[in-house]
Structure 1
Amino acid sequence: MTCSMVVNSKSGNTRMVSGAIKRALQAAGAEFVHAAALSDDADPEQVALEAQGACTADTVLVGFWCDKGTCSSSVAALLSALHGKRVFLFGTCGFGASEDYYRQIIDRVSSNLAGDAELVGWAMCQGKMGPAVKQRYEAMLEQEPENARYKMLLDNWFTAKDHPTKEDLDNMAKAAKKAVLGE
Structure 2
Amino acid sequence: MRYSIVYSSNTGNTRQLAEAIEQQLPTGDLLYCGAPDAAALQADVLFVGFWTDKGSCDAKVAELLKQTGGKTVYLFGTAGFGQSQQYFDQILARVRENLPAGAVYGGGYMCQGRMPQAVRSRYEAMQAKEPENARYKMLIENFDEALAHPDTNDLEAAVAWAKGSLA
Q: 1:167 aligns with which of 153, 158, 162?
A: 153
* Structure 1 contact 122–176 (Cα < 8 Å) conserved: no
Matches within 5 A, 1:31-180: 31-38=29-36, 50-51=37-38, 53-179=39-165
Match of 1:23 in 2: 23
Q: Which residue of 2 aligns with 1:45?
A: none
How far apart are residue 30 of structure 1 and its match? 5.5
Output the CA distance in 1 between the equivalents of 2:66 and 2:92.
Answer: 15
Change in 2 beyond 3 A, CA 1:30/1:124: farther
Distance 2:110 2:70 in 1: 23
CA distance in structure 2 between the partners assigned to 1:56 and 1:89 by the alignment: 17
Relative to structure 1, the CA distance from residue 123 to residue 74 in structure 2 (aligned partners, 3 Å threshold; closer, same or farther) is same
Normalised to the residue count of structure 1, the TM-score between the two structures is: 0.88
Paired with 1:99 and 1:84, the residues of 2 have a C-alpha distance of: 28
Name structure 1 gaps, 5 residues minimum.
39-49
Partner AA of 2:144 in structure 1: F
SS at match of 1:162: coil
CA RMSD in angstroms, aligned pairs only: 1.2
2:47, 2:75 within 8 Å by CA — same for their partners in 1? yes
Give deviations 1:17-70, integer Å, cap 9, x for gaps: 1001111213xx6521112214xxxxxxxxxxx23x112112111100002210
Q: Is the 8 A contact 2:22 2:33 kept in 1?
A: no
Contact 2:123 2:136 in 1 (8 A): yes
Structure 2 distance, partners of 1:118, 1:83, is 8
Distance 1:147 1:34 in 2: 47
What secondary structure sits across from 2:25 in the alignment?
helix
Q: How many residues align?
A: 167
Residues 14 and 49 in structure 2, CA contact (< 8 A), matched pair in contact too: yes
Alignment TM-score, normalising by the size of structure 2:
0.96
Asked whether the equivalents of residues 7 and 14 of structure 1 are also in contact (C-alpha less than 8 Å), the reply is: yes
Structure 1 consecutive aligned stretches of length 4 or more whose deviation exceeds 6 Å: none
